[in-house]
Structure 1
Amino acid sequence: MANVQFFLSLLCYNFLLSSPVRASDSLLSPKGVNFEVAALMLVKSKMVDKFLVLSGWDINSVDPCTWNMVGCSAEGFVVSLEMASTGLSGTLSPSIGYLTHLKTLLLQNNQLSGPIPVEIGKLSQLQTLDLSGNQIDGEIPSSLGYLTHLTYLRLNRNKLTGQIPSFVANLTGLSFLDLSFNNLSGPTPKILAKGYSVKGNSFLCNPQTCEGDSKPINGTGTGTTVPPGKSNRKRWIISLAAGVSCTFVISVVLIVCGIHWYRSRLLFTSYVQQDYELEIGHLKRFPFRELQAATGNFSPKNILGQGGFGVVYKGTLPDNTMVAVKRLKDPNYTGEVQFQTEVEMIGLALHRNLLRLYGFCMTPEERLLIYPYMPNGSVADRLRDSCRERPSLDWNRRTRIALGTARGLLYLHEQCNPKIIHRDVKAANILLDESFEAVVGDFGLAKLLDRRDSHVTTAVRGTVGHIAPEYLSTGQSSEKTDVFGFGILLLELITGQKALDAGNGQIQKGMILDWVRTLHEEKRLEVIVDRDLRGCFDALELEKVVELALQCTQSHPNLRPRMSEILKVLECLGQLENLEELQGGDNTNAEDPTACSFSRNYSDNHEGSSFIIEAIELSGPR
């Protein structure tokens, strides 16, 4: 094993000395060994993989881009490792530094131990690093300060010791830095990140109050030695000063609170809404006046859409940034604290297929959320757009939208902590960026507006035709509620019709699901395909996607697949499509199409023992 590791290390070292021009040429050694494969195998060798999530990583492979939890660029470089919540233990190998094109490294919620390798500082393109929720010890390496592209850094809930390096504190590009709940000590430097947390570190102290070695709250540890007499006198002085200070602070707080209450009562009915002075982590707090100006005082001309959660307006900020401003309905359903908690949770959900939350605005009568503007609108808009000679969503784009949506929902269900149930998955809530990539919007909003807990509530949120039967009848939602909505979305993508109106001249108005089930039994699936596609679709893919949609929309939630299983089927279809292209359309030697199917037994009774995290594509914020 030692010889193998030495060989791999040598390959990686030679790779770092090279200056690659094209990945296809530079990633291979003269003997055909992929240098990034070698680096990944070194990373694997230092980890204990009790659930065999890394079993597909093979030293004999020349392409790591097909491996579980590995994402690559178009050139073939490894750009993301998404290995969160996979039960990995062991240590993080210094060989991680050989993956010089890495942009995203997610290893949160595992059992990794040992120090953070200083070699991470070599990852000059790294944007997102999350090692939270492990047992990592040692000091925070100063080399992290070299990562000038780093936007999100989470090292919280570990066993880190020592001081916060000034190089890390001085990273100006960080949107959020989380060092909370470690054993960090010494003076807390000025941190330049837009949002940060260092709570839960008992040994940290303010630079002005630190004397000698910092002391923990419980009084243990070493400090500056003081003679007994002077010590008693010093304690008396400190106690007196503390008492006076506390009295002064309490008085000031009471005065300020009184003034604030009086001022808020005066301004409550004023024409211009006043903002609560509330900061939420790394999110920006927008003044109400700025959003009024950006949207033309919420002009009807700027309405992008409206639904059960509120009205969305197009806006232009003073720096000419285009945004979408969602003006929530029923703003008084949640108080300040709950709104802060839920919005912060939504803001921390970062995935390439989720709509990023830019910021918020909160006044006594308003709750507003600010998102990036999506230039291609929603899937629903594009499916109903019949004014073009060619449809803006061809068959390939529709299958990619399904794949991207599945990845976003999988992240919400299985990677977020706590998990998020969308409860209104439909074409209108799937947005399209400039490249027509699917971006799931409106996630997490149901809990913002519901009076009760999101899992059991009488306030059913959703759209008729998309709502799972158990949610409609009992008000109880789960991940399988979203799976049902995703199945209806698949049918929308195939037919181009609304869930409650398949009015394409073939049948009367009614439930699209019933219509598709009937034609599936009659083996006449070509009838359901959107006429705008003009026959340009893959018959084999159509059959598999319809079968998947019908599995997702079964009446009993336990019979529906999980999003991880759904994603596996969709990714398999994409692989078959690529294989057909390579073979010039002749798929006689292709993989067995049944390989893109899954077991029809989805009883939740076995989920705990058989659960394996599937490959997903996480990334930094959009």
Structure 2
Amino acid sequence: MTSLKIELLFAALLFSNFYCFVVSDYQGDVLVTMKTSLNASDTQLIDWNENQVNPCTWSKIICDVDLNVISISLSNMGFTGTLSPKIGDLKGLSTLVLQGNNITGKIPEEFGNLTSLTMLDLENNQLSGTIPPSIGNLKELQFLILSENNLIGPIPDSLSGLSNLINLQLASNEIDGPIPDPLFQVSKYNFSGNHLNCGVNFPHKCESDNGGHSSKSKTGTIIGIIAGLLGVMFVAALLVFLWKGKHKGYKREVFVDVVGEADRRIEFGQLKRFSWRELQLATDNFNEKNVLGQGGFGKVYKGVMPDNTKVAVKRLTDYESPGGDAAFHREVEMISVAVHKNLLRLIGFCTTPTERLLVYPYMQNLSVAYRLRELKPGEPFLDWPIRKRVALGTARGLEYLHEHCNPKIIHRDVKAANVLLDEDFEAVVGDFGLAKLVDVRKTNVTTQVRGTMGHIAPEYLSTGKSSERTDVFGYGIMLLELVTGQRAIDFARLEDEDDVLLLDHVKKLQREKQLNSIVDPNLNGNYDLQDVEMMIQVALLCTQGSPEDRPPMSEVVRMLEGEGLAERWEVWEHVEVTRSQEYERLQRRFGWAEDSINNQDAIELSGGR
């Protein structure tokens, strides 16, 4: 019997391996056929090789834990071929993005077999024929982007049954006929630049369609799309995939405009799944000599890839994963779509049964905390103009997370150590989304308080509930770090005074009008005193005890740019005077000692750590 069990187990293992090879093999065949059909050149998709069994290691491909291909992203590659019907065999596919090429021919009916698909983006190609009615079979579909092609005929009635659809883009085609009424219930749509009839119920929804335009106005469509996106302020974070540069010269990346920074562009590369072995070799087996830093989420290692590209590898040490690899993957994808000049771009990730790792670009000038307090002899310190730039850049990055991402992303550990500096000393906020990534799958309801002593907002500490105003508090403390060069908590100050917390220390010196005593002595007097005063005022507004009193990050950005600070500060001073008078009244009534009054904030912030 024992022998039989062993044989059965051996057979099961063989079958399991055989199944994986079969799955990988048929998917590889589909992808190679797709590559051929698209007329990929000899220098494109080189690693899509029919002799390599596992397509999950190929570029532009993401697989799930069961080795099913779930994402294909081939934007702006310059393909001139057609779409292979074989793509319809990839039943696990959830994302198919082929926008910005010159693909011709029809959309295959077989695409209706992709029942797991949530995003289909074929925008800005040369596709012809009608929209296949089989698209109506894609009940999981959320994004259907077919704008700027040569599609003809009516909109299939079957699309009305796509109950999960949240974004429908059909602009600038040659589509005609009526628009099914249910499609007007989709939260975001664009039918302009066609020959459509909106019907009697929605005549105002596509007035520009009724003129029977014979040619597409792409410039007008682009302006309309951009204006619409600016108007809704990124209704969903995934729309960052859909805001495409119309520059055919960009072959391997999508370029996304930053709101309010129209003259700057950001490179958004394909998220890559690394193997454990790749990262092990890159970091010299996670050698301690390569540790760049360590925080609440784990250690960060410097790594060098085979092409000599430097990366930073974060090895998470506090990760609970009932949902497994697929759940982690979904959360990583959500974080990866937050793309902004002042946010650290996620390159890729790695998962094993026991490990979770994230891979980021290497930041040459390390962190703001390092540049303020940990410099080696001969290394340059942060001068005042750079500190001002860091303050504004960090504010813009947090504003994007809070107000332009849906759902919003709360950092929960804003501090100088988590603000990195690129080769030009531009601020890049790192570790955003990691609190969600780690906590989202915890089995209990209570969220673990995460953060660093001296940076944690009092309401988060006492209730465990965080909000964007929690980040505003941490940002205010970071501003004080920038001005003073000091840590948020420093017990060395006990030798001269009672203000262990930097916030209390600065408040005291601000009341005493000793601003010169606050400023980092490493600046050697090379700063603008008005700038210092402005930054301290913004910091104190951000660190008010009540979260409702703190300004949102969009207002912080405006104040740093010179708008609205005076009015806010006047209100703050009035409140502080009233509070001081009340303390004095209570002191006289109850005979409290002066020290016990002056340190109320310190007591509140220190409690329960």
State TM-score, norm by structure 2. 0.51
Distance 2:155 2:565 in 1: 65
**Deviation of the 1:381 alpha carbon:** 0.4
Does structure 1 conserve the Cα–Cα contact (< 8 Å) formed by 2:314 and 2:357? yes
- What is the CA deviation profile of residues 153-196 of structure 1, one whole-angstrom value per residue up to 9, with x for unaligned ones? xxxxxxxxxx98861689xxxxxx964599x995899xxxxxxx
**Deviation of the 1:331 alpha carbon:** 3.0
SS in 1 for 2:538: helix
Number of the residue aligned with 1:330 = 318
Letter in 2 for 1:523: K
Number of the residue aligned with 1:420 = 409
Number of the residue aligned with 1:377 = 366
Number of the residue aligned with 1:437 = 426
Letter in 1 for 2:503: L
- Is 1:314 equivalent to 2:302 in the alignment? yes
SS in 1 for 2:472: helix
Number of the residue aligned with 1:560 = 550
Cα gap change, 1:202 to 1:479, in 2 (>3 Å): closer
Distance 2:454 2:447 in 1: 18
Q: Which moved more, 1:441-450 or 1:322-331?
A: 322-331
Distance 1:298 1:498 in 2: 29
**Deviation of the 1:319 alpha carbon:** 1.1
Cα gap change, 1:373 to 1:401, in 2 (>3 Å): same
Cα gap change, 1:304 to 1:146, in 2 (>3 Å): same
Does structure 1 conserve the Cα–Cα contact (< 8 Å) formed by 2:488 and 2:502? yes
Number of the residue aligned with 1:17 = none
Letter in 1 for 2:331: E
Number of the residue aligned with 2:514 = 524
Cα gap change, 1:168 to 1:385, in 2 (>3 Å): farther
- Is 1:353 equivalent to 2:342 in the alignment? yes
**Superposed counterparts of 1:502-517, under 5 Å:** 503=492, 507=497, 510-517=500-507
Distance 2:146 2:99 in 1: 11
Cα gap change, 1:534 to 1:428, in 2 (>3 Å): same
Distance 2:425 2:79 in 1: 30
Letter in 2 for 1:323: V
**Deviation of the 1:595 alpha carbon:** 7.6
Distance 2:289 2:377 in 1: 23
Number of the residue aligned with 1:549 = 539
Does structure 1 conserve the Cα–Cα contact (< 8 Å) formed by 2:320 and 2:442? no
**Deviation of the 1:525 alpha carbon:** 1.4
**Pick aligned residue for 2:278 from 282, 290, 293:** 290
Number of the residue aligned with 1:570 = 560
**Deviation of the 1:433 alpha carbon:** 0.2
- Is 1:448 equivalent to 2:437 in the alignment? yes
Number of the residue aligned with 1:209 = none
Letter in 2 for 1:535: G
**Deviation of the 1:536 alpha carbon:** 1.3
**Deviation of the 1:369 alpha carbon:** 0.4
- Is 1:479 equivalent to 2:468 in the alignment? yes
Cα gap change, 1:218 to 1:456, in 2 (>3 Å): closer
Letter in 1 for 2:102: F
- What is the CA deviation profile of residues 200-249 of structure 1, one whole-angstrom value per residue up to 9, with x for unaligned ones? 55999xxxxxxx99966579999xxxxxxxxxxxxxxxxxxxxxxxxxxx
Q: How many residues align?
A: 351
**Deviation of the 1:385 alpha carbon:** 3.5
Letter in 1 for 2:354: E
**Deviation of the 1:563 alpha carbon:** 0.5
Does structure 2 conserve the Cα–Cα contact (< 8 Å) formed by 1:325 and 1:371? yes
SS in 2 for 1:565: helix
**Pick aligned residue for 1:469 from 439, 458, 475:** 458
- What is the CA deviation profile of residues 445-468 of structure 1, one whole-angstrom value per residue up to 9, with x for unaligned ones? 001111568997331111111000
Does structure 2 conserve the Cα–Cα contact (< 8 Å) formed by 1:313 and 1:326? yes
SS in 1 for 2:339: coil
Distance 1:483 1:455 in 2: 27
Larger RCO (CA under 8 A, 6+ residues apart): 1
- What is the CA deviation profile of residues 425-484 of structure 1, one whole-angstrom value per residue up to 9, with x for unaligned ones? 000000000000000000000011115689973311111110000001101000100000
SS in 1 for 2:102: helix
Distance 1:542 1:219 in 2: 58
Distance 1:354 1:571 in 2: 20
Letter in 2 for 1:428: A
Distance 1:396 1:453 in 2: 43
- Is 1:405 equivalent to 2:394 in the alignment? yes
Distance 2:369 2:464 in 1: 26
* % same residue: 55
Cα gap change, 1:467 to 1:429, in 2 (>3 Å): same
Cα gap change, 1:506 to 1:385, in 2 (>3 Å): farther
Distance 1:595 1:569 in 2: 10
Number of the residue aligned with 2:114 = none
SS in 2 for 1:492: helix
Number of the residue aligned with 1:488 = 477
Does structure 2 conserve the Cα–Cα contact (< 8 Å) formed by 1:331 and 1:365? no
Does structure 2 conserve the Cα–Cα contact (< 8 Å) formed by 1:391 and 1:532? no
Letter in 2 for 1:379: V
Does structure 1 conserve the Cα–Cα contact (< 8 Å) formed by 2:119 and 2:143? no
**Superposed counterparts of 1:85-484, under 5 Å:** 167=102, 179=120, 201=144, 217=158, 282-333=270-321, 335-388=324-377, 391-451=380-440, 457-484=446-473
- What is the CA deviation profile of residues 14-49 of structure 1, one whole-angstrom value per residue up to 9, with x for unaligned ones? xxxxxxxxxxxxxxxxxxxxxxxxxxxxxxxxxxxx
Number of the residue aligned with 1:105 = none
Does structure 2 conserve the Cα–Cα contact (< 8 Å) formed by 1:569 and 1:598? no
- What is the CA deviation profile of residues 107-151 of structure 1, one whole-angstrom value per residue up to 9, with x for unaligned ones? xxxxxxxxxxxxxxxxxxxxxxxxxxxxxxxxxxxxx99899xxx
**Deviation of the 1:303 alpha carbon:** 0.4
Does structure 1 conserve the Cα–Cα contact (< 8 Å) formed by 2:402 and 2:410? yes
**Deviation of the 1:539 alpha carbon:** 0.8
Consecutive unaligned residues of structure 1, counting only runs of 5 or more, are 1-143, 149-162, 171-176, 190-196, 205-211, 223-280, 574-591, 604-622
State TM-score, norm by structure 1. 0.50
- What is the CA deviation profile of residues 351-398 of structure 1, one whole-angstrom value per residue up to 9, with x for unaligned ones? 010000000101111110000000000000000145446852011111
